Structure 1
Amino acid sequence: MENGVKRKLEEGPSEFEQKVRRTVFLDEIAPQVTVAIMQSALSQFGKVTSMKLVNHPLDPLVPQGCALIEFANEEQAMRVAATTRKNLLMVGGMPRPVRARMASKYMFDSAEVERSNLHHHHQKQQQKKKQEKEEDEKEKAKQEEERSSKWKLSVLTLGDAKRDKAEKLKQVRARQAAEIKMLLEKHEEQRAELHKRQESHWEDEFKKLDAINKAGKQHGVDELRAFFGMGPQQK
């Protein structure tokens, strides 16, 4: 409900509603009063933009003594209505004063009201399309800005807290890389040393085995082979 009222306030009055606000309804007009006389009498209150005498509904040729007077703005129309409430308004020297009050939309022709409603509806549709288009453009601009911000580089000046933090982070990463490199080199040295020791150990063992075989002591050779799980030597 509040959103509907808010939208209506933002849209403002239609062209027909503005016309109604600028219009004054006069009655008790003498039959001898013409449009020219009415315009001359009311021009003292402001600029009259249109005037329509309301005739009898059954006989259009018989004046009903009423008129719809449209002024240039609402203030002028309200001035006429306020004046007739406090003072007598004589038009064309006629003996009876006229009465004035602010007009309402029900005082206008139904065809004119219908045309105004259609025009106002068309304006609302155009305004709605315009707002939707503006919202779409804003959303696209927002999305484009979000995409571009991901690639935006911030320029860090000397002494900036962000720059100091970035420099410290860079130093920490460099130190970590150096430590990892040193550990890998140490591991490689240890692996090479172990491989060298293993090679030396097996060379010594092979030499011992060759020496025992060359000794010619078959009994001792068999015991040694059994100790190593090699089985007796084939003859």
Structure 2
Amino acid sequence: TPRSRRLRPARPLGFERSCFAPMAASDEMAQKDEDDMKDEKQAEKEYADFEARVKRTIYIDHLSPLVTSQVIKASLAQCANVVNTEFIENYTIEYEIPAAALVEVDNVSQAQAAVDLMNNFPFMLGGMPRPVRAAFAKPEMFPDRPRKPGLKIEFSWVKQGDPGYDGMNKLKGLMRRQEAENMALIKNQLEEEKELAAQQQETLEANSNKYDMLENLVNNGEITKLAQHYKVKLGDD
């Protein structure tokens, strides 16, 4: 009798796919890790560039709403070359508060010179009753700041009865109280500036009237009579 041939069992359908599936998943994970590393390096570079920009940027407030970027550039030309000016909009306060701006210059030394100039001398811009104030900018002031590398932000909804609900509720109340105090301080500051502006306007008008009176005395010749009466010698000019 012929030798019986042992038949090899047929491989199940999809055998090749099941063998290569773990390898494909491993390749995908490796590619994902590589992409994540590239993204992290790119984020580190972007944040380093951002930090360099922050160091050469100054924050200026007490600006008149009429002040433009050209006015700021011309005012700081004696100590710095202004590269970019970004005005900070007021979205949360109902009062018409003085404007503020982030001003980027060429380098850190120019930024330091601009801060010293505006803080050591009365530096007026746009006719505001108070001199402007200047300080080095902080990363939190930039609305377009990039994500800090390695920083992960997690959030979740908290409802009554959850752990941490009481603490978050107290924090919410504290924020409301701070907002009310801040609004009261701003209102008081605006009232003080209004009074100061009125005093400055009164002084300006008084000085202007004095100069007008002197000009009239010179034009009508009364200044000569006064000089003769008080025995004061007038110059030829």
TM-score interval, normalised by the smaller of the two chains: 0.3 to 0.5
With structure 1 as the length reference, what TM-score do the two structures score? 0.40
Q: Which has the higher contact order (CA 8 A, sep 6+)?
A: 2
With structure 2 as the length reference, what TM-score do the two structures score? 0.39
Q: Which has the larger radius of gyration?
A: 1
When you count helix as a share of all residues, which structure comes out higher?
1
